[in-house]
Chain A
């Protein structure tokens, strides 16, 4: 059998998995709700822009208020709903969806290491997640203050705007990487990934109220410490919040990447041991 093409075999095999999965995952009818989740915040900021345009720019609030509003939107909507559930929908289906549709055996009958299959599938899911969630974050950020006109442009190019946008995009990307690795693992091990997803969801949302030691065993803790604008917690929740020292940015970034890598490696090794069992 001739094996032509450029690059080593393992790279070509990962690329083939990536391209097939992208073809199947992007614009699939099954993922409509994920697109809605990604489009939701953009729709909110678009409505905000249009509403403020009809009113008088800057009449209702200041530019700084929009900055805080976006920080709240990002931390409570993007991180806790859009990216979390979006990644659950994308990544947990990469293996589990194939099991349910009884198509995983086609992949397992290809002469490639199953570790490479897991990596290819993860990269495909990650590509979709990055396009959707990082793209949505950027679009929503650029839209939220548009009604301020030149002041917003000045904020972006001469103020902290672009830096904040970069931070939000980085956090959205890290969230996709981290939650992606978690849900890929869940999809491989659990017949119903909703159960571990619910556990992770509760754990992540309890984070502000947990003792400092427990706070650190979560994805959201590190992501929040990378967010450029802090969101004040409103009463009565503010009295229940337990403060912890923020994690230095480099530890947060490399820590999340390292944890994601460990989870991905464990998934890849486990994929080698997985059997085809369609429950028949």
Chain B
């Protein structure tokens, strides 16, 4: 089982006296996993550790059962699109992919084929013959992504991969993540673009100041925050009547009626009891409910709850 996971066992990394991450225990299953946290929270440190670019001060890391201090084995299964916006000098986009594939030991024909396929996957075929130095930031980001996927890795690690991409490229890139995640591979993404992370992630890992503060499916992480009231938006024909019934309950914290008098924004500490009560109200009073939706299950809300105001992203 552990051979299909990326695991961190009590991993710490210090840069001199500066904390990178501390006592991290993680077990990342296949699918899309997002690392979320403000600058300096340890996202890049975590990624550099799992790709073997740095070593832990203590603890043990395994990527599909492989220790990162064996790059000759690890790098066949892992692809990393790092945050650094730098490229070897004098190479075209095609040469950039081709030469690093040659270092894998593949033949000329194999490298050519994989280079063309990877560039096509990120819509960079037309610009393949141009020097990377002449690319726009979005193109450089895409060619880095192509380089990370060219050898068809099982684990794709992406540090802020959506930076600099236009909306079309962003949508294409997200589609690629989804496809890879659905194929049973690991896609581990860090990003500040939270609503996109929210949409694509199977699970999130929330980091703050080098510590993992929560991990799991977004809904599950949200449920862990028991002391924080959950916001639920109900659109119905009688929000005032609903609010009056709800305020008799001890788990209700707040209720706001929207300006159009059709919506009620509630804050409750027990969502399960709220939903039971809502069913009862519908049965008793014939309340017509148009929609019910959690209003704060996104990553940003969860993050704000867990980290507090100081953890602004």
Residues of A within 8 A of B (CB): 1-5, 9, 12-13, 16-17, 19-20, 23-24, 28, 30, 98, 101-103, 105-114, 275-278
Contact = CB atoms under 8 A, between A and B. Distances in A.
A152 B103 CA distance: 48
B54 A108 contact: no
B53 A112 contact: no
B129 interface: no
B80 A5 contact: no
Contacts of B73: 111
A5 B106 contact: yes
Interface in B70-129: 71-76, 78-80, 82, 84, 86-91, 95, 99-100, 102-110
Given A1-B151, A16-B99, A105 B110 contact: no
B190 interface: no
B105 to A, nearest CB: 4
A19 B95 CA distance: 12
B109 A278 contact: no
Contacts of B147: 106
Contacts of A12: 102, 105
A251 B263 CA distance: 92
B103 A102 contact: no
B103 A110 contact: yes
Given A24-B88, A111-B72, A275-B53, A17 B106 contact: no
Contact of A107 (B78, B89, B95, B103): B103
A166 B31 CA distance: 64
Q: Size range of the interface on B?
A: 35 or more
A24 B54 contact: no
Contacts of B89: 24, 28, 30, 101
B106 A111 contact: no
10 closest pairs, A vs B, by CB?
A4-B107, A111-B75, A16-B102, A102-B86, A276-B53, A5-B107, A110-B103, A20-B99, A9-B105, A111-B76
Given A16-B99, A105-B82, A109-B80, A114 B105 contact: no
Contacts of B152: 1
Contacts of B201: none
Given A30-B89, A108-B52, A278-B84, 15 more contacts: A4-B106, A5-B106, A5-B107, A9-B105, A19-B99, A19-B102, A20-B99, A108-B71, A109-B53, A109-B79, A110-B100, A110-B104, A112-B72, A112-B75, A276-B53
Contacts of A17: 103
B92 to A, nearest CB: 11
A148 to B, nearest CB: 44
A108 B82 CA distance: 12
B300 interface: no
Contacts of A13: 103-105
B107 A1 contact: no
B87 A108 contact: no
B257 to A, nearest CB: 50
Contacts of A277: 54
B19 to A, nearest CB: 16
B75 A2 contact: no
B54, B107, B147 pick with most chain A CB within 10 angstroms: B107
B267 interface: no
A275 B55 contact: yes
Given A102-B84, A275-B53, A275-B55, A114 B102 contact: no
Contacts of B53: 105, 108-109, 275-276
Nearest to A277: B54
B106 A3 contact: yes
B27 interface: no
A131 to B, nearest CB: 18
Given A5-B108, A111-B73, A276 B151 contact: no
A107 B71 CA distance: 10
B48 interface: yes
28 contacts: A1-B76, A1-B152, A2-B110, A13-B103, A16-B99, A20-B102, A20-B103, A23-B90, A23-B91, A24-B91, A28-B89, A98-B88, A103-B84, A105-B53, A105-B80, A105-B82, A105-B84, A108-B52, A109-B51, A110-B103, A111-B74, A111-B104, A112-B71, A112-B72, A113-B71, A275-B54, A275-B55, A277-B54
Contacts of B80: 105, 109
Contacts of A275: 53-55
B161 to A, nearest CB: 15
B54 A5 contact: no
Nearest to A17: B103
B45 to A, nearest CB: 11
Contacts of B75: 109-112
A276 B54 contact: yes
Contacts of B52: 108
A103 B86 contact: yes
B117 to A, nearest CB: 13
Contacts of A278: 84
